[in-house]
């Protein structure tokens, strides 16, 4: 497998209408943390350091499960999403729980610099939605104070095989497609764009490769042996950089 080309299709961006529909028709969407999301937030907190009294933008917060955990850890959270439905849901949750350290805001990712400067920015599966990506990077750089940090849990377009599969198989015949119809995995070229604004460190938290065969092609069958094979590859550092999951850690 070779590294994927750095180009990505144009037009990948957050669609507030699409996500309004998601949050309206699936009221539990992003209200609870998956094990993977919880692990990502814990990794972000370790990267940020002591969060007590510090301000964190939770970019693409959705219904707010990640924002509530960050607030529980001690952060002051500005919860940002393009979906008014998601933000209204989070506002209601904060009122019901008496939480005043979370400030939900309807905001486009391209204008998050209007909310800063802040100490930290956290995002879960958000960067690969954003286009034009260089414009977002400039806004992010302005949003993060000098010396501040950002952490993003993202998918990864480093594998040509996975990108080919996504472009030629996913969404066709019986193969499902998940997420915004315009999104595209974060490319190595976009990581390079981030490097023009930040010091960048990439961490691969787990191997997520063969398990995708079960998810997309086999309807969940053979999940355990394929995931076990991924874990073996990860332990032996074989093809790790091609994992479909990555942590992108930025230093301002």
- Give start and end residues of each alpha helix (H) in 118-187: 133-143, 160-168
Residue 43: domain span: 16-209+244-251
Which residues does 38 contact at the CB level (< 8 Å), separation at least 6? Answer: 69
Is 3 among the domain residues? no
Whole-number Cα distances in Å, 130 to 22, 48, 134, 135, 225: 18, 23, 9, 9, 35
Which residues does 129 contact at the CB level (< 8 Å), separation at least 6? Answer: 12, 13, 14, 60, 109, 180, 182, 183
**pLDDT tens for each residue of the chain, 252 residues long:** 334 434 444 334 556 788 888 888 887 777 889 999 999 999 999 999 999 999 999 999 999 999 999 999 999 999 999 999 999 999 999 999 999 999 999 999 999 999 989 999 999 999 999 999 999 999 999 999 999 999 999 999 999 999 999 999 999 888 998 877 778 999 999 999 999 999 999 999 999 999 999 999 999 999 999 999 999 999 999 999 999 999 999 999
Tell me how many domains the chain contains: 1
What CATH number does the domain containing 67 carry?
3.40.50.150
pTM, two decimal places: 0.92
Buried b (16+ CB within 10 A) or exposed e, 54-72: bbbbbbbbbbbbbbbbbbe
Which residues does 190 contact at the CB level (< 8 Å), separation at least 6? Answer: 6, 8, 127, 133
> What whole-number distance in Å separates Cα of residue 193 and Cα of residue 18?
27
Is 89 among the domain residues? yes
Burial class (CB in 10 A: 0-12, 13-18, 19+), 139: buried
Which residues does 18 contact at the CB level (< 8 Å), separation at least 6? Answer: 180, 181
Q: Which of 167, 174, 157 is closest to 244 using CA atoms?
A: 157
């Amino acid at each position: 497998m070779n590294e994927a080309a750095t180009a990505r299709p144009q037009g990948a961006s957050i669609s507030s209408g699409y996500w309004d529909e998601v949050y309206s028709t699936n009221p539990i969407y992003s209200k609870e943390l998956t094990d993977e999301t919880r692990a990502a937030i814990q990794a972000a907190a370790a990267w940020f350091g002591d969060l007590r009294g510090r301000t964190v933008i939770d970019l693409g917060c959705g219904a707010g499960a990640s924002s509530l955990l960050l607030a529980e850890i001690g952060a002051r959270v500005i919860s940002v999403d393009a979906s008014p439905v998601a933000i209204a849901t989070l506002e209601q949750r904060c009122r019901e729980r008496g939480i005043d350290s979370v400030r939900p805001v309807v905001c486009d990712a391209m204008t998050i610099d209007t909310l800063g400067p802040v100490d930290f920015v956290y995002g879960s599966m958000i960067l690969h939605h954003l286009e034009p990506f260089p414009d977002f990077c400039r806004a992010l750089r302005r949003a993060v104070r000098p010396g501040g940090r950002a952490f993003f849990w993202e998918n990864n377009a480093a594998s040509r095989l996975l990108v080919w599969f996504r472009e030629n198989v996913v969404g066709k015949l019986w193969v499902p497609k998940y997420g915004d119809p315009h999104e595209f995995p974060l490319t190595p070229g976009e990581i390079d764009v981030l490097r023009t604004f930040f010091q960048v460190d990439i961490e691969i938290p787990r191997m997520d490769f063969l398990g995708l065969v079960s998810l997309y092609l086999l309807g969940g069958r053979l999940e355990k042996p394929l995931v076990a094979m991924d874990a073996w590859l990860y332990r032996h550092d074989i093809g790790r950089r091609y994992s479909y999951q990555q942590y992108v850690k930025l230093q301002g």
